[in-house]
Structure 1
């Protein structure tokens, strides 16, 4: 009986090249799996391409709802941002994709899972750590680490030699990853960090701020326990929420970053990331937390956010630490409920008001006028005690200088 391999299939150049390569080098029955996390039109024509390239079948599974509910929202609630910029668009999709690959591998009784991540990238780590965490018995095949193909030019030539005609060219083949949350661009001229990207050519979800409308637009987001539930008064499920915010953010030139990031494997790489809707949600959620969380919780949560982001970026979603951090985050979100108003204008997100039944802000207490809970005279004693270490140190230095 012919052994089976599950291939994480995007329909792009790399994973299409892998199909004939697996058949030629392993004599496997190749079963392709494409997980729909919001790639849009990229999924069209995949079955025809996969079968024409030698696969026996293709699974296409719509997991957008699960992607948002179980991966995007926890990341948003954590305010997890990698290296102060990256909203982890590619990273948070990988554990879900890998989990489903494992489930289908078990269903098909396959002996291996294959992915098209390169030997220099992060995705090889993300795919393989999840597979190891969920199905350590499965074999993992990573062609880019073992085959003789060294470039996109080689891959195109290999496909042509095997009778596969692809709609790709080297000149237009950016390395892109798209899902509901974001779109990334890498490769070609972007590898020269001295060059400013041609955003008019590059961007697909957004426009540059220069081309955004000259008139600002106000929006209102409502949150329930840290999760966005309504936009401008309209209740929306997660997928619809992100789709609408992507359109709004893209229209106003919001959420495009140029990041020189530190990969898991040790090198730096440049990526242009479009996350219009996500950027709006992070800004709104942060404003909601300012209102509803106390000083110590906000401060400690900010340290958690850094580690949370590092774990996601490194493919360590299915780890005890990530799960423990999520439990902490969920506890902090119990009161993050209310509404945030924002002004969108030429790449900027400007706060325009917030309200919550759980607000810790007291206008009477914060006012310069004396409030019932605050006696100005109390500040003198507080400052004396708070500044006591400074005063003692100064007295000691004065005594030393007098000797």
Structure 2
């Protein structure tokens, strides 16, 4: 695990050496428990995974983001097996407290049993909807969500102590980033944002994302992060016709596709989608254009009700259009790929995410961003929208509207401001 986490606090790594993971996975072989992999621990009636023990390397990175210290009071949203709570209790001892909340009674019971088996008696596991937090023990110095969330719940922000920190795998139009926020005057300042992929929060706060199975035989599945309608039969029929091809003349690897490029495409358009299919199926819709090969073929692109444009896996990234609007969508997709490349391929380590209350005006956000930009004294980037290629003040993300030097992603309770340094 050490090889995959970089410069992580030694106290965090020490906690993993102290707290035995296999005790929190009693039905899993010990040698499997100590692999640096996520392990599914619960599925729903349809066989979809709904709970897991997260990959240890990702857990370490998020705990490092959280910045725990002895004496901290911590709220965890999503108990899982109890392993993460045990690690946190090790880091906040002596004098600290950990409260872990989960909506599933069986997971709560299992986490309590696992914690008792490990001799960790300083964690309080509560059966409740984590969206409400746990006001009885508030305020908390640190709050962490271990499930993917569409928005920051008001209760979490209300229960965060002044100067506290919250870490959450946050939906940014489809792609997730584990974002660490510090509570400051009037907003939550982003400290770091790391790529991640967590099972989504269930319940009323789950967000608009929908996942549909298009072909049961091959397991062809589409995920629409922003919801919307889809004509299943029309899409399947579109796959039977040769696609319209639009070459981007941009070369990428799969990490960039589902990293910086994926984020760019997701936040600049309303139709971002991902498709996957079983690699073991006798026939496949995706094998010739998949960007990831494991147990499932995987690709992504833009969708409309009856049409798709998907990313192909050629050395030079290609947009392939299917259906009545396939050519239109493929042209748009290829154009965005070129725009991302011209902008310097943003979306990696330079991403910053700040969160403001939903009532915050554009003018307040613009003023805040101007002050922060002056403080950082960053060198302006070449503006891809200017034909002379001169340096400009705009960031790579240029949505329509007044806020052309950043991207504002409006949620229900917050406005997320994405910028690149």
Coarse TM-score class (shorter-chain normalised): under 0.3
Structure label with greater radius of gyration: 1
More helix by share: 1
TM-score, with length taken from structure 2? 0.21
Q: TM-score, normalised by structure 1?
A: 0.22
